Amino acid sequence: MPHEVDALVVGAGFSGLYSMHKLRGLGLSTVILEKGDGVGGTWYWNRYPGARCDVESPYYSYSFDEDLQQDWEWTERYPAQPELLKYINHVADRFDLRKDIFFETTVVSAVFDESTERWTVTSIGPDGGSVISAKYCIMATGCLSSARMPDIPGINSFTGRLLHTGMWPHEEVDFTGQRVGVIGTGSSGIQAIPMIAKQAKNLQVFQRTANFSVPAFNGPIDQEWFAKIKANYPELRERSRHTAMGIPYQRRNQAAVDISEDERRAVFEEHWPKGGFRISSCFNDLMRNKESNDSLSDFVRAKIEQTVTDPKTAELLKPYGYPITGKRICVDTDYYATFNRENVQLIDVKSDPIVEITPTGVRTESNFYELDALVVATGFDAMTGAMLRMDIRGRDGASLREHWDAGARTYLGVAIAGFPNLFTIAGPGSPSVLSNMLTSIEQHVEWITDHLAYLQAKGYETSEATTASEAGWVEHVRELADQTLFPTANSWYLGANVPGKPRVFMPYVGGVGTYRAHCEGVAAREYEGFALK
């Protein structure tokens, strides 16, 4: 491992690999430090049964290299974790990125040295501790990479197999003939439950909050459809960059409240078979008008009722109390139908809370469930968790943890006041988790590397967001969110899933295209809002 580099990247997922490729193109010596023993990021860690992307495969891929997107063949409409991992490994090898990645290396701290204007990054790897000096530090740590175990008494006493969906073993896990419990019905739980149910002798699903989920209608990729996409990739990619979600869907330019309830229902029925996120693009006011949102919520709840045969179970599975898409809508295969199986039981822990986990199972206030295996699908300390696990210190020894004590603060989601030459990819204050992550990742990496090229050309040594620009951006993000229904849901967008985490709405809701325009405007005005020295 070198002692000094121009740029150091933390994380070898999609954003880290593309950062390496682009930074090399600037002639900067670059290394990646990666905690895992392979590339992949999210798709390296999340190997649970049913793990699958919620964006269609031709769009959840890199667009920066035309030969790559023409050569690669996807097998399914929505790619599963093994295929995504195969793809990202192919990219690492195709662009010879692996030679500068140091695996099984955990970053402990990153401290800015004002005397040298460089970052001192300390890590622990297979050969012990290492220290690297870097001019630029790029945090490609991922929005959903810091897995969170629930605070349930006795969880570490369980003597059966305890698994977290975000830290799944690399070897296959066989649940055949076992009594299995799953805690959590967010995205990962919704994907894993149908798969586990096919193996388990019986499956107990512990649900606190029902989530909205829509069918993917997944299957082998339609080769004729894929061929048309390949023939029109440049146009489709450019369109994606200027849409709300970073996917080339045409959002219906009509408000749901402008037509009758019967007409709305007809539009929902038309979009339902298209699968996935298409249903949330059928009107332009679904997250701004409660009546419109309620009509879609009622429609999806009716679909749940039609699918689940037991009325009591169906009612428990219907989400209430927050707007649909207020939490990232889940995309599933046979989730609701799984509760029609005789070996699956839904336990409502809102009315019968979990008291403790014992060595042999889960105890609620009124029952005990004996288990051989327990799957924890309780998600992540989203958007900030991975960075705050490191001790990051900027000017005057200022701690990032203290800087974010009242909630994450960034300028454009890429820079932090008081932390020179430190850049975040898809961080708080950017569209990130409200978008196709690949579209947002490419935009961020390209913007950051263009910024570094500018610094080199102009002879600047450091770049950092000003306190005023950071404060202005935080306020802008808040104002936009407050114009929508998003803050009315207790979601991980707000940090609501982590006890004690400040409740601040973190993603930028203005859309990928609007956000891109903001970033391009800042660059065109010679990086307005940055102090360059």
pLDDT tens digit string along 283-306? Answer: 999 999 999 999 999 999 999 999
Task: State the angle between helix axes of 81-94 and 14-25 in degrees (0 to 180), rounded to the nearest 10.
Answer: 10
Specify the DSSP element, H or E, that contains 494: none
| 123-131 CB contacts, 8 Å cutoff, 24+ apart | 123/33, 125/1, 125/33, 130/1, 130/105, 131/3
pLDDT at residue 254 is higher than 70: yes
For the segment 176-182, the average pLDDT, to the nearest whole number, is 98
Nearest by Cα to 59 from 250, 252, 226, 244:
226
pLDDT recorded at residue 406: 84
Query: Which of the residue ranges 389-403, 448-462, 494-508 would you say has the lowest mean pLDDT?
Result: 494-508
pLDDT recorded at residue 148: 75
In contact, 128 and 144? CB cutoff 8 Å: no
What does the mean pLDDT of the chain come to? Answer: 94
For the segment 252-266, the average pLDDT, to the nearest whole number, is 94
- Give CA–CA dist 318/212, Å, rounded: 8
Strands (E), 270-338: 330-332
Who contacts 476 (Cβ-Cβ below 8 Å, separation ≥6)? none
Percent of the chain with pLDDT over 90: 87
Read off the pLDDT band of 524 (50, 70, 90).
very high
Read off the pLDDT band of 497 (50, 70, 90).
low
pLDDT at residue 144 is higher than 70: no
pLDDT recorded at residue 496: 57
pLDDT recorded at residue 142: 82
pLDDT recorded at residue 490: 77
Nearest by Cα to 322 from 195, 96, 448, 490:
490
For the segment 356-375, the average pLDDT, to the nearest whole number, is 98
Residue 7 vs residues 231, 265, 452, 515, 518: alpha-carbon distances, Å: 36, 53, 10, 26, 26
In contact, 336 and 347? CB cutoff 8 Å: no
Query: Which of the residue ranges 157-166, 212-221, 378-387, 462-471 would you say has the lowest mean pLDDT?
Result: 378-387
pLDDT, greater one: 382 or 268? 268
Residue 283 vs residues 128, 167, 247, 303, 478: alpha-carbon distances, Å: 55, 37, 16, 19, 23
pLDDT at residue 17 is higher than 90: yes
Q: What 3-state class would DSSP assign to 294?
A: helix
pLDDT recorded at residue 155: 95
Surface-to-core class of residue 46, CB atoms within 10 Å of its CB (0-12 exposed, 13-18 middle, 19+ buried): buried
pLDDT recorded at residue 506: 83
Who contacts 333 (Cβ-Cβ below 8 Å, separation ≥6)? 50, 52, 191, 194, 215, 216, 218
- Give CA–CA dist 232/222, Å, rounded: 16
pLDDT at residue 494 is higher than 70: no
Tell me the pTM.
0.95
In contact, 355 and 365? CB cutoff 8 Å: yes
Read off the pLDDT band of 472 (50, 70, 90).
very high
Who contacts 324 (Cβ-Cβ below 8 Å, separation ≥6)? 212, 280, 286, 293, 296, 297, 300
pLDDT recorded at residue 383: 60
Give me the phi and psi of 122, to 5 degrees please.
-105, 135
For the segment 391-417, the average pLDDT, to the nearest whole number, is 94
For the segment 442-461, the average pLDDT, to the nearest whole number, is 98
pLDDT digits (tens, 9 = 90+) for 307-336: 999 999 999 999 999 999 988 889 999 999
Percent of the chain with pLDDT over 70: 96
pLDDT at residue 58 is higher than 80: yes
CA 132 vs. chain centroid, Å, equals 29
Read off the pLDDT band of 146 (50, 70, 90).
low
pLDDT digits (tens, 9 = 90+) for 217-250: 999 999 999 999 999 999 999 999 999 999 998 7
Neighbours of 529 (CB within 10 A): 17
For the segment 449-455, the average pLDDT, to the nearest whole number, is 98
pLDDT, greater one: 28 or 146? 28
